[in-house]
Amino acid sequence: MRHVRMTAPVLLLISVLLGLGCITLHGPEEIRRDLSEEVGVKLDHEFSITVNRGGMWMARTGMKWAGEEEEVDLRGVHHVDVGIYRPAGLRKGFEAPGAIHPDLFEGWEALARVQEEGENVLVLTKEKKGSIRGLLVVVAESDEWVIVKIKGKLDMILEQALAQAFDEVKRPELYDKTREERGLEPLSEDPDSQEVPEEPATPVEETAAAL
């Protein structure tokens, strides 16, 4: 089983953000509970965290101060929930685990689904006025389940993630093909060249800027 390891700077940053109310240790609890009840697997808590808009800004700022570059531009992200859980048997009334099906998540549309022996991965999105405003990822393995829920203006972030994924497998030409299949115009040779509009400053950002 994989364990969460955190360096001293990361722990310090989390402590500061907790003190400022920018993060909590709640995580995607509602999704964990509903998923456990539907699939029938008991999920023991290992680690969870929720980061709000102010926390995202401070985390990005901290990365800049540390000289670390973001692999994906996170300016559009407003809220992040992450939960890591350990499967601990079946709930009462279940003889075997149920399937993790997109229909379990009302209001979400399936973007990708991978089912292999010992692993089930489901990626879903939620749209509002033609724009992707939510991303939900569920990874279920024999010894660990991970749930990630992201809110914000996510169209460009997903495009950047797709571009990086095709680049890593050395098939960048397939990126434009996926855009064409979705009815989108092909991008230039450098997909990362498109800029994401800056978000309005939050009270935390305004306070930090004034210091």
**Each residue's pLDDT tens digit, 1-34:** 444 455 565 555 555 555 555 778 889 999 999 9
Quote the CA–CA distance of 14 and 51 in Å, as a whole number.
10
Looking up tokens 């601990």 gives 88
Largest Cα span, the chain:
59
Give Cα 130 to chain centroid, integer Å.
20
Give per-residue pLDDT as tens, 49-106. Answer: 998 887 777 667 766 766 666 556 677 888 999 999 999 999 999 999 999 999 999 9
CA dihedral of 153, 111, 26, 75, whole degrees rounded to 10: -20
Q: What H or E segment, with its residue span, contains residue 32?
A: helix 29-39
Q: What is the pTM of this model?
A: 0.69
Quote the CA–CA distance of 46 and 145 in Å, as a whole number.
10
Quote the CA–CA distance of 201 and 178 in Å, as a whole number.
34
